[in-house]
Structure 1
Amino acid sequence: MLTEPSRTHRREDGRDVPLLLWRFPSSLLAASTAVLGGGVGPREWLINASVPMSYSRPDPDAHLAELAGNLGLTGAGVGLMTGVDVADVVSAGDDGVRVWATVGLGAPIPASDPGAAGFAHRPGTVNIVVWVPERLGDGALINAVATATEAKAQAIGDLGLAATGTATDAVVVLCPLGGPVAAYGGPRSRWGAPMARAVHRAVLDGGAVNLATGRSWSSRS
């Protein structure tokens, strides 16, 4: 079972900036869309760091690697960033699956927009971390990322937004490295169904708070 993250901070520009930290007790298999530690493979740790909405560094992967090094983290890990206060993380569980979401909806977009041009980086960002207690096959891992994304988009629609997410959202699905292999990760599969429900609930609850308060991390610091 993946345990709750610890809440810590780093000192940056004269301020204490919050982040969430998971130190895995043993290597886990991850499928990740993160800028640091993206792809599929074993991972040792995960961080989710708040950044100002004005964040404009062109090398977030290097920045996250620096943060990990300052925390004494070694080996392969995953690094996420968001413009919201990660202390507002929302967790949800369903039938053995666990989900943690930090939900920033300050810059929502529809995935397909004929009028969109270029890439404007705004770190509002919805970050989703999923724990599944059974080893997922390679295809199931990728399918699980899609399932979590579908559930996120459903929750955002249920919040009344004509959007599917933000331009910088990330999903990380974690499972054991060994043991029996589950072949499917779609929304009606053994693990995909509870995952979809838990992701939907976490994003819906976190998004409702974010939209009601309009709070980013920088607005609270």
Structure 2
Amino acid sequence: MAYDRFMAICNPLLYYVILSKRVCFQLVAGSSLCACVNATVHTCTEFSLSFGHFTVLNNFFCNIRPLQEISCSDFCINKRVHFLFAVIETIGTIFTILISYTYIIFAILRIRSTTGRPKAFSTCASHLTFISFLYGTLIFTYLRPLSGSSVDWEKMVAVSDTLVIPMMNPPIYSLRNKEVKGALRRTIHQKIIPRCM
């Protein structure tokens, strides 16, 4: 998304040439390959753990951290491997997004039109809003020490990460569309306002 915004704002005339179907496929394939490597490493390291009789997780879903906490074996190496992968993935993607948006901000500031700047900033605002919520919970979940936080707080972050953030995605992106806004207004006026009268 950051690269897409970068191309749309910094090189609008070359957008369809540079972001061809082939390039989009390569971007998706690269992201999927990184996700598969990440999942394979985490799965293999978790299979090396042994578990005793206590098999109840104190969380809403089976994540790496709660699974390690009920393990009977020493998971120091697993913890380091997971932390290293989290740092590489999180810092790498945040760094890429920040570089893209630095170029975007400089390109927007060079726009002379008074209507062009707000439109360009609004194009990026929804993506930055979503990214800040997503990475906030990811950093809390995966880039913090194992001890020192309450289980209730971890459960709240887990719910936010798995339910709230994906539910925010459609409104953040679709409510910028004029047709969606118009349809929402018509629905509210037809269904809700007549009941109140």
TM-score after normalising by structure 2: 0.24
**Structure (1 or 2) with the greater helix fraction:** 2
**Structure (1 or 2) with the greater strand fraction:** 1
| Bigger Rg over Cα | 2
